Amino acid sequence: MASAAASPERKARSSRRSLDPRQRRGPLMSVSRNVTYNLIGSVLPVLLALVTVPVYLHLVGSDRYGVLAIAWLLLGYFGLFDLGLGRATTYSIAALKDADPQERADVFWTAIFTNIAMGVVGGLVLWAAADFFFDQVFKVDPRLRPEILASVPLLALAVPIATLNGVLTGALMGRERFLEINTVSVLSTSLFQIFPIIVAFVWGPNLSQLLAAAVAARAIGIAALWWRCHVSITHGQRHRFVRAQARELLGYGGWVTITGLFGPILVILDRFAIGAVLGATAVTIYTLPFQLAQRITMFPQAMVSALFPKLPTASVEERSALGDKAVRVLLAAISLPILGMIYALHPFLDFWVGTEIGPQSSDVGTLIVLGYWANAFAIVPYSWMQGAGRPDLVTKVLLAQIPPYLALLYFGMKEFGLIGCAAVFAFRCSVDFMMMWWAARRNFRPVPLIATVGAPLLAGVILSNWLSYREPLWWLSGLVLAVVVALQCWRIAPPELIEKARTLLQARFPRLARKAR
């Protein structure tokens, strides 16, 4: 019992000292493979969403889709009732990498028992909050309001499922079971998209039935995760709750919980404000490009998720080197695709959702895309601090941002409407990275490097919104900016990334590779 409560930090230091450099380098070879698993697990649901969103809009209408968007936001926000145990479980199990299996099982069961209790509490709180918001605040067709209120209990039921998902995924992540995590994630997310569409097509667009179908899809995912945790962590071990272990998990997870409590305000408050002031249709106009732009985080999240289980057992120097390289890899890898996304957003949204909503959404969306590009770099110091056992620094940075962000959001919406909201969001994401990096490293070293690429991306936002994609000048401006960004990314990329690109080029196009030399 006493050994099960041993500090993860002490276990991590002991494990690190016992390995020589060659042994430590060996596991790092798996990082790129795990990044690939994470990317595949993120991309496949996005491709499915591209197909299903127009179907949703056709079957349920823009008002009901706006309500569903707010419902998923509420559910995601109230997932904070896992008390940060998902991330704390990953950290603790990763730190116990070479410990006795019973110690890892103790972490798992302690997290699960605590999580279930708090998930039930969270569901009850969400029930009351959602009932008040949809009844008193949210602007919607009065005929739709009774249907919304009748679906609130199902939304509350989804909270314990969401919190349990975090701990189960975190446990598998601590054991670096990324293939299993992403296989289940693709299954669960696919069912989450498909089940409600089937219900809407067969029985009609009743919100209660749509939510019931979504909850059933998530429950299937939970069952699959539970089975994999049994195989990887708990098989043959005793089921027990360790009070000392609970204190350690909650001590780490407490800061993650505060981050989860206030951090989402910086991401979701704009849509709540839009729903309260401008109505459900405006939420749809803003949400469509926002959901697309959120996918930008797939690559940075895939990278840091693969690295995170290695951070608790890494030295300070190793963590610093990984962080510096991660920023350069991200900057070189995503900036040119982001510019392409900025320019493609206008024609894509016109084709995807039609010219009635598309132009309004695309003007807003280019700014949101730019904001998420900046946000991608903030993920690196965010995970660096949590992996170093300092989640409190993350929380303090986020709390410091909330008051000025609220003031700027109010001003932006009042003076400029949806465009103002998007511009304030993009500005806040840029400030977030600088504050996170300063908290983690006490310098702003990557900021000038990132700004050199950010300038042509900002120019792309301005030009793509100002010009029509039916004009030759729109295409010419995009081509010129693409060349500028590509040259900058090539200069910034780490030597290892350039060498890998050359190797791939030589393998696929030998003649072109010889000319490139």
Burial 465-486 (b: 16+ CB within 10 A, else e): bebebeeeebeebbeebbebbe
Q: Is residue 424 part of a domain?
A: yes
Residues 217 and 303 in one domain: no
Q: Is residue 309 part of a domain?
A: yes
Looking at residue 502, its pLDDT comes to 61
Residues 475 and 405 in one domain: yes
Tell me how far apart the alpha carbons of residues 156 and 346 are, in angstroms, rounded to a whole number. Answer: 37
Residues 471 and 345 in one domain: yes
Tell me how far apart the alpha carbons of residues 287 and 283 are, in angstroms, rounded to a whole number. Answer: 6
Looking at residue 491, its pLDDT comes to 86
3-state secondary structure (DSSP) of residue 268: helix
What is the pTM assigned to this prediction? 0.63
Looking at residue 389, its pLDDT comes to 73
Q: Is residue 318 part of a domain?
A: yes
Total domains in the chain come to: 2
Residues 365 and 229 in one domain: no
Helix axes 447-466, 472-492, angle to 10 degrees: 170
Residues 223 and 352 in one domain: no
Q: Is residue 36 part of a domain?
A: no
Residues 392 and 248 in one domain: no
DSSP of 11-78, one letter per residue?
HHHHHHHTS-HHHHHHHHTTHHHHHHHHHHHHHHHHHHHHHHHHHHHHHHHHHHHHHHHHHHHHHHHH
Residue from 126, 125, 417 nearest 273 by CA? 417
Q: Is residue 231 part of a domain?
A: yes
Q: Is residue 86 part of a domain?
A: yes
**Domain limit, last residue, from 218, 244, 262:** 262
Q: Residues with Cβ < 8 Å from 449, sequence gap 6 or more? A: 327, 328, 331, 492
Residue from 221, 384, 236, 409 nearest 317 by CA? 384
CA 101 to chain centre: 30
Looking at residue 237, its pLDDT comes to 85
User: Sign of the CA dihedral 439, 444, 445, 448?
Assistant: positive
Residues 253 and 323 in one domain: no
| Residue numbers of the domain that contains 498 | 267-517
Tokens 């009850």, residue?
124
Residues 332 and 445 in one domain: yes
Looking at residue 286, its pLDDT comes to 86
DSSP letter (8 states) at residue 314 = S
Q: Is residue 25 part of a domain?
A: no
**Domain limit, last residue, from 215, 235, 262:** 262
Residues 201 and 321 in one domain: no
Residues 230 and 216 in one domain: yes
**Domain limit, last residue, from 220, 243, 262:** 262
Q: Is residue 42 part of a domain?
A: no
Token representation of residue 268: 């979701």
pLDDT in tens, the chain (517 residues): 333 334 444 444 444 434 343 334 444 445 667 777 777 777 777 777 778 778 877 787 777 777 777 676 666 666 666 667 788 888 888 888 777 888 888 889 988 888 888 888 878 887 887 777 777 766 666 777 777 777 778 778 878 888 888 889 888 988 888 888 888 888 888 888 888 888 888 887 777 788 888 888 888 988 999 999 988 888 888 888 888 778 888 777 777 767 766 776 777 777 777 777 777 777 778 888 888 888 787 778 777 777 677 676 666 677 777 778 888 888 988 999 999 999 999 899 888 877 777 888 888 999 999 999 998 898 888 877 877 778 888 888 888 888 888 888 888 888 888 898 899 999 999 999 999 989 988 788 888 889 999 999 999 999 998 988 889 999 999 999 999 999 998 888 777 666 666 665 566 556 544 554 5
Residues 299 and 443 in one domain: yes
Residues 232 and 289 in one domain: no
